[in-house]
Chains A and B, each alone.
Chain A
Amino acid sequence: MKRDFKFYIKLFVSCFELSAFTFGGGYVIVSLMRKKFVNKLGWLEDSEMIDFTAMAQSSPGAIAVNAAFLIGFKLAGALGAAITVLATILPPLIILYTVSFGYEAFRDNTVVQSVFLGMRAGVAAVIADVVISMAQSVFKNKAFVSVGIAVSAFVAVAVFSVSVIIIIPVCGFLGFLLYSKKDEEVGKQ
Chain B
Amino acid sequence: MIYLEIFWSFFQIGLFSIGGGLVTLPLIQNQVVNLHGWLTLDEFADVVTVSEMTPGPIAINAATFVGARVGGAAGAVIATFGFIFPSLIITSVIAYLYLKYNKFGYLKAILSGLRPAVVGLIASAGLSILILAFFRGGGFPSDLSDINFFAVILFAVCLFILRKYKAHPILVLAVAGAAGGVFYSVFGLG
Contacts and interface: CB of A to CB of B under 8 A. Distances in A.
B100 interface: no
Contact of A122 (B14, B118, B176): B176
Contacts of B151: 117, 120-121
B132 to A, nearest CB: 7
Interface residues of A, number: 96
Contacts of A119: 49, 53, 173, 176-177, 180
Contacts of A150: 116-117, 119-120
B27 A23 contact: no
Interface in B50-92: 50-61, 64-65, 68-69, 73, 76-77, 80, 83-84, 86-88, 90-92
A134 B17 contact: no
Q: How large is the interface on B (under 10, 10 to 19, 20 to 34, 35 or more residues)?
A: 35 or more
A132 interface: yes
Kindly list the 5 A-B residue pairs having the minimum CB-CB distance in the complex, ordered from nearest. Answer: A118-B180, A175-B113, A61-B87, A122-B176, A153-B120
Interface of B: 12, 14-22, 25-27, 30, 45-46, 48-61, 64-65, 68-69, 73, 76-77, 80, 83-84, 86-88, 90-92, 94-95, 98, 104-130, 132-133, 151-152, 154-155, 158-159, 162-163, 168-170, 172-173, 175-185, 189
Given A69-B88, A121-B133, A127-B22, 5 more contacts: A55-B94, A60-B86, A62-B58, A111-B181, A120-B49
11 contacts: A25-B57, A61-B14, A61-B59, A61-B88, A62-B57, A62-B87, A70-B95, A117-B184, A118-B180, A128-B130, A138-B115
Interface of A: 19-27, 29, 51, 54-66, 69-70, 73, 85, 88-89, 91-93, 95-97, 99-101, 103-104, 107, 110-111, 113-132, 134-135, 138, 146-147, 149-158, 163-165, 167-169, 171-176, 178-180, 182-183
